Amino acid sequence: MRITVDQTVALIVDIQEKLFPHMQEQQTFQDNCQKLIQGLIVLDVPFLLTEQYPKGLGLTIEPIKSLLSKTKPLEKISFSCCGDENFNSALNLLRRKNVIIAGIEAHVCVLQTVVDLIEQKYQPVVIEDCISSRTLNDKVIAIQRMRQEGAIISTCESILFELCRQAGTEKFKSISRIVK
C-alpha cells in the first residue's frame, strides 16, 4: 500500500515539557521529530497536535511548538487521542485515511491511539525513530503490538521520501537537505 500526501495527516502526540526529559535517547528523538515535521511541512501535510493534561505535564516543548506554531494543540485527558471528541472531530474533518504518528509515550498514548485509529478504519503509520518511552523495552513491545494490530511501521527518512515520490523536484531538494 502506497502512502500518498493527499490521503495523509500527521499526528504529534504529547511531546511535552514534563514528559520529554524522561524519554530514551531524547536528543535523537527530538532531532528526528523536527526533521519529520519540517519535511511534512514542505510536503503540505496537515497536522494535529495533542497535549495530555497540560496543567500537569506542561506544554509542547519549544522546538516542536515553534515548528507547529500554526497548529493549535488539542488538550486531552484520555491516553488515546481518539478518546477526545475535539480530536475526533478535527481528524474527521480532514478526510484522510493515513495517520502518520510521532510522539510519546510509545507504550501508552501512542499505542492506545493506534489501536483506536485502526478500530475507526484509519491506517496508522508509526514513525519508529520519532516515538519514545522511558524504557527501551516498553517502546520495543509497543511497536510489536502496533504491528500486530495492523499499523505500518516506518522511519522519518523513509516516509518523507515515500511521500515525495520522485527526485529532481524542489520538494525533493528541500527534504534531502532536511534529512542530512
pTM above 0.95, yes or no: yes
Treating both helix axes as pointing N-terminal to C-terminal, what angle do 156-164 and 170-179 enclose, rounded to 10 degrees? Answer: 170
pLDDT in tens, 118-141: 999 999 999 999 999 999 999 999
Task: Give the CATH superfamily of 5-179.
Answer: Isochorismatase-like (3.40.50.850)
Residue 57: band (very low, low, confident or very high) from pLDDT cuts 50, 70, 90: very high
Q: Cell digits for 2?
A: 502506497
Q: Hey, where are the domains in the chain?
A: 5-179
Judge whether residue 150 has pLDDT over 90. Answer: yes
**DSSP run (H or E) holding 82:** none
pLDDT in tens, 66-89: 999 999 999 999 999 999 999 999
